[in-house]
Structure 1
């Protein structure tokens, strides 16, 4: 399990602790979901508004996408919990290799 459960010997205390932790976790997920919906609406608004140029809109949408990926990883996929170190290592290693590959191909094409 990702969450270590406290065992005090008193079932009532343990149940209250688990309920408190579960409600706290659910609150974080609801807030994160609401923020992701807001960021999605912001991205749609950036495209819909004709006053913004492409030079602003594309990096802005990419920035919003990166923020949403962070929310997805840390709140919905529970990467902030203990016990996910190995999967975090593989995920970030793959991200580093992917970014280095994009950088390498970009420099090959541009120079």
Structure 2
């Protein structure tokens, strides 16, 4: 039999979890909307003939990097505790990829 004190604790814990899930859902919906907006901006940038490729390509790469950050932190839950090891491997991979691209660009254009 559950007494009133433990029932109150269970109810408060349930309310806390509901609020936490509602907040996470709000961030996911907001992030999804921002990613749709960034995608529309990227398409409009390409569709506009007034902007040269010297601006369009780096701008689209920047928008893609922003979308990757949103994907990792809000949809893949990398902002929560307990994801330190996957985050370390992910950031190490990004660092190695950056060094590799930098080396190729240096070799080709130097």
Taking structure 1 as the reference length, what is the TM-score of the superposition? 0.90
Distance in 1 separating the partners of 2:30 and 2:96: 32
Gaps of 5+ in 1: 1-7
Distance in 2 separating the partners of 1:74 and 1:51: 34
Look up the match of 2:82: 83
Gaps of 5+ in 2: none
Superposition deviation, residue 84 in structure 1: 0.5
Matched residues, number: 104
More helix by share: 2
Q: Which moved more, 1:48-57 or 1:24-33?
A: 48-57
Look up the match of 1:95: 94
Matched, 1:40 2:39: yes
Q: Which moved more, 1:48-57 or 1:20-29?
A: 48-57
Q: Please show how residues 1-111 of structure 1 align to structure 2 within 5 Å.
A: 9=6, 10-111=9-110
Larger Rg: 2
- Higher RCO (CA < 8 A, seq sep 6+): 1
Secondary structure of 1:89 counterpart: helix
Taking structure 2 as the reference length, what is the TM-score of the superposition? 0.91
- Cα RMSD for the two superposed structures: 1.2
Superposition deviation, residue 46 in structure 1: 0.3
Q: Which runs of 4+ in 1 moved over 2 A?
A: none
Distance in 1 separating the partners of 2:105 and 2:52: 23
